[in-house]
C-alpha cells in the first residue's frame, strides 16, 4: 500500500504531490518576524493560506498572536486543535451559521468576529441571549477601498457602532479594514501610497469612535503585500499576512519592485512527465484538479522559458520554443502555484522536506471548509 513516511526521499512520492521546502519556509517565517516584530504591533496570520493547525502553532511559536480564518468551519477545526485565539474575517449570517458560532464561542471565549450590519449583529446577539452567553468580541468591518464588505469609514462606522452598542451580548473591541485591492499592485511606490491612504481612513475611524466613548483596542488590517507598510502606519495595532509563508507567482511578481525582504516560493507541486506528444511539448499529470488558474498559470521551477498550459482536469502541458532543451517521459517537475490559497485547497497533505528527505507530513485540515 502506498504510504509515504517521515524519512522517505521525495523520489518515493507519487505525483502530483504538494511539497514544502522546510529551509525556505522557515526562512520566510524568520524574515517576516524580523520585519514586523520590531514595530511592536501584533501579527495575526491569516490561516486561510495554510489551512493547518500545525502550521498555525509554528507561526505562534515564532511570535505571532493567534490567527485569522475566513470561515466559521475553519475556526471550528482550529479550536478543536487547541488554536483558540481566532478572528473570523467574514461576516457570519444565517441561522445555521449563527447557531454554530454560539456553540463555538462556548468552547473558545477568545473568539472574535466581524460585523458590518445591525441585522447580522442582532441575529448573533439574540442567539447568544437564548444560550445564556454574553461578551462575544466584535470588530466592525470598514470598507477602506476594496468595495467588498464593510461599511464606509468615519460617520457610517460610528452610526453602526452606536446601533450595535445597544445590544447586550456583543462587545465592540475594534475595527477591521482589509485593503485586498492593493495586495498585488506591482509598483511598490503606488502600493505604499495607496495603502497609507487606506490606513489613514481606518485609523481616523478608530479615533472618531474613541472620541465618542468606544474602547477601540484593535485596528487590524494588512496582507502579505502591504503588511510592512501597515505596521508603520499610526493607529494600526495588528496585521494579517498569510501567503508569505509559501508565496506564489502572483505575490512574487507583485513584490518584485523594490522588495525590501525577499520571500521564497517554498511550496511546489511535484509532478511527472507522462507524455511527449510533440518535440517541444510534454504533458504532466497536473491539471485543474492540482493547480488553480484564477491568477494565471503556474510555472515550472528552475525551467526558464518553459510555460505551463492546463489541458483539463488531470493534464497540463509544458511548452518551450528554445533549442537544446528537452524533458523525457518519467522526468519530475516542480510547479510553483500562481495562487497559493486555492491551490492548497486542492490537496490532502503537505510533504515537508529538508534537502529532499521528508521530515514532516501535515494534513490540510481545513481543506474544503467553506461554510
pLDDT over 90 at 259, yes or no? no
Q: Is residue 65 part of a domain?
A: yes
Q: Is residue 307 part of a domain?
A: no
CB atoms within 10 A of CB 254: 20
Q: Is residue 343 part of a domain?
A: no
Taking all residues of the chain, what is their mean pLDDT, rounded to a whole number?
98
Q: Is residue 240 part of a domain?
A: yes
Backbone dihedral region of 101: left (phi > 0), alpha (psi from -120 to 50 degrees) or beta?
A: alpha
Backbone dihedral region of 126: left (phi > 0), alpha (psi from -120 to 50 degrees) or beta?
A: alpha
Q: Are strands 112-115 and 136-141 parallel, antiparallel or unpaired?
A: parallel
Q: Is residue 103 part of a domain?
A: yes
Over residues 202-231, mean pLDDT:
98
User: CATH no. for residue 116?
Assistant: 3.20.20.10
Give the tens place of pLDDT for each residue, 269-290: 999 999 999 999 999 999 999 9
Extract the runs of DSSP E, i.e. beta strands, from 22-89: 42-43, 67-69, 86-88
CB atoms within 10 A of CB 155: 11
pLDDT over 90 at 266, yes or no? yes
**pTM beyond cutoff 0.95:** yes
Q: Is residue 275 part of a domain?
A: no
Over residues 13-27, mean pLDDT:
98
The label of the residue with cell 521528508 reads: 358
Query: Is residue 353 within 8 Å of residue 21, measured between CB atoms?
Result: yes
Q: Cis link prior to 35 (omega < 30° from 0)?
A: no
Q: Is residue 365 part of a domain?
A: no
Confidence of residue 310 (pLDDT cuts 50, 70, 90): very high
3-state secondary structure of 249: helix
Q: DSSP string covering 168-206, please?
A: SSEEEEEEE---GGGTT-S-HHHHHHHHHHHHHHHHHHH
How many domains does the chain divide into?
1
Q: Is residue 30 part of a domain?
A: yes
End-to-end CA distance of the chain: 34
Query: Is residue 269 within 8 Å of residue 301, measured between CB atoms?
Result: no
Which range of residues forms the domain containing residue 120? 23-248
Q: Are strands 218-221 and 238-239 parallel, antiparallel or unpaired?
A: parallel
Maximum distance among all alpha carbons in the chain?
Answer: 73
- Report the pLDDT value the prediction gives residue 258, as an integer from 0 to 100: 82
CB atoms within 10 A of CB 26: 15
Amino acid at each position: 500500500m502506498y504510504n509515504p513516511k517521515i524519512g522517505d526521499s521525495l523520489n518515493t512520492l507519487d505525483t502530483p504531490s504538494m511539497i514544502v521546502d522546510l529551509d525556505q519556509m522557515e526562512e520566510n517565517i524568520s524574515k517576516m518576524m524580523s520585519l514586523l516584530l520590531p514595530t511592536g504591533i501584533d501579527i495575526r496570520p491569516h490561516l486561510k493560506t495554510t489551512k493547518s493547525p500545525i502550521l498555525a502553532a509554528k507561526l505562534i511559536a515564532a511570535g505571532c498572536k493567534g490567527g485569522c480564518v475566513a470561515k466559521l468551519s475553519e475556526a471550528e477545526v482550529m479550536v478543536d486543535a487547541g488554536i483558540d485565539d481566532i478572528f473570523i474575517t467574514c461576516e457570519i449570517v444565517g441561522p445555521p451559521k449563527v447557531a454554530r458560532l454560539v456553540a463555538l464561542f462556548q468552547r473558545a471565549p477568545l473568539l472574535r468576529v466581524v460585523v458590518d450590519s445591525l441585522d447580522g449583529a442582532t441575529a448573533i446577539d439574540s442567539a447568544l441571549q437564548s444560550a445564556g452567553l454574553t461578551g462575544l468580541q466584535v470588530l466592525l468591518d470598514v470598507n477602506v477601498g476594496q468595495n467588498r464588505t464593510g461599511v464606509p469609514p468615519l460617520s457610517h462606522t460610528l452610526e453602526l457602532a452606536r446601533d450595535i452598542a445597544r445590544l447586550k451580548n456583543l462587545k465592540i473591541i475594534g475595527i477591521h479594514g482589509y485593503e485586498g485591492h492593493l495586495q498585488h499592485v506591482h509598483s511598490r511606490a503606488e502600493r505604499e501610497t495607496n495603502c497609507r491612504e487606506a490606513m489613514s481612513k481606518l485609523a481616523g475611524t478608530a479615533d472618531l469612535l474613541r472620541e465618542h466613548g468606544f474602547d477601540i483596542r484593535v485596528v487590524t488590517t494588512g496582507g502579505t503585500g502591504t503588511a510592512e507598510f501597515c505596521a508603520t502606519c499610526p493607529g494600526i495595532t495588528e496585521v494579517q499576512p498569510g501567503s508569505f509563508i509559501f508565496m506564489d507567482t502572483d505575490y512574487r511578481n507583485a513584490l518584485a519592485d523594490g522588495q525590501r525582504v525577499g520571500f521564497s516560493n517554498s511550496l511546489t507541486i511535484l509532478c511527472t512527465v507522462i507524455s511527449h506528444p510533440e518535440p517541444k511539448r510534454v504533458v504532466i499529470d497536473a491539471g485543474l484538479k492540482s493547480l488553480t488558474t484564477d491568477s494565471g498559470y503556474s510555472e515550472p521551477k528552475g525551467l526558464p522559458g518553459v510555460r505551463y498550459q492546463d489541458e483539463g482536469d488531470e493534464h497540463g502541458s509544458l511548452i518551450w520554443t528554445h533549442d537544446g532543451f528537452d524533458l523525457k517521459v518519467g522526468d519530475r517537475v516542480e510547479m510553483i502555484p500562481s495562487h497559493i490559497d486555492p491551490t492548497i485547497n486542492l490537496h490532502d497533505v503537505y510533504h515537508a522536506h529538508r534537502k529532499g528527505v521528508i521530515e514532516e507530513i501535515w494534513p490540510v485540515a481545513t481543506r474544503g471548509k467553506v461554510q
